[in-house]
Structure formats: structure tokens, C-alpha cells
Amino acid sequence: MTSTPRISLAAALRQWPGRRWLAVATGTVGAYLLVAVPTDLIDTPFFSREVPPTWWSFPVLLVSAVLTGLVLATYVAPMRAASARTHGRFGVAGAVVTFFAVGCPVCNKLVLLALGTSGAMQYFEPIQPLLAVVSVGLLGWAFHQRATSEDRCPTRPPQSPIATSESGALSTFTPRSPFDGS
């Protein structure tokens, strides 16, 4: 069994239609807002933050938002039929980990329930940079895998409901209900 070589990431991106780049822009803005508002990196009257954000929170959020937009765009079908793959699970995991990486350690209800206030500051806050690296790594890996393997497993177009019989005559396939008594 021979394997088809992967195309480079740059070559894959050159093949993207304009609607994919629109999905990147929309996904990036959406991901940025979806994480920045509840973590109070964008100040709103709806959320507050007890611990000021770290210096690296904004760059991590920006990189994660762009990568999330890129992963999202890989789900926008090109003009030919799109194929289904499972690399997106890592993209979702990366986006979720970003939320924990840039969020306030004592404002996160899950962390507070698990560790308490002093535990959040003592144990969770020091690992947030590691969570940031993991989130960017997962998103980057998911994007690279999806973008460079699109041409590897194309899906077949759906089969027509019209079939030919053994005699060569055309017949129409009619689905049967289990309730029609036949």
C-alpha cells in the first residue's frame, strides 16, 4: 500500500477559496470575543476579574483565536466535496484549554470548586502558562493536520436513487417503511 505524500501547508493555503478566508476572519473574531469577554480580558459590566491578567494573556489569546479561526475554516467545504476527519477534536480541546489558560484563576468556578481560593492561586495560577502552550500546540497541530490532509481522502458523491436492473432498464429506488405492511 503506497501512501500519498502530504502537500505543504503553504500549498494547501494557496488553494483556499475566499469563503474560507472569510471563515478564518469570522472565526478569529468570534473566538477572541468568546474567550476575552467572560475572562474579562475585554472589560464589560457583565464580568469582573479579581486577579489582573498576566502580560502573556493577550498574545496567547490572539494566537489561539487565529488558530481557532483557521481550524474552523478547514470545515468550510471547498468547491469539491469535503471529507470528514477527526482532527478537529484537538482543535476543540485547544480552544477550551485557552479559556483556562488566560482566565482569572480565582474567578473560574470549576477551579474554585476543585482547589479553593488559595489552591487556585498556589497550584492553578503557576500552570496557566503551560496550559497556554498546550492550547496553542493542540490548535496548531489540529490546523496543520486538517489543512495538509484534505486531498488525501476525498468522499464519493452521494449515489443517485436511480439504479439499473439486470436487464439494463432504469428503475427508481423507493424506500420502504417498516410500517407499510409489506
Q: What is the DSSP string of 41-76?
A: SS-BTTB--SSPPPTTHHHHHHHHHHHHHHHHHTTS
pLDDT attached to residue 177: 57
54-58, 98-102, 173-177: which has the minimum mean pLDDT? 173-177
pLDDT attached to residue 69: 96
Strand partners, 170: 164
Please say whether the beta carbons of 147 and 9 come within 8 A: yes
| pLDDT band at residue 130 using 50, 70 and 90 as cut-offs | very high
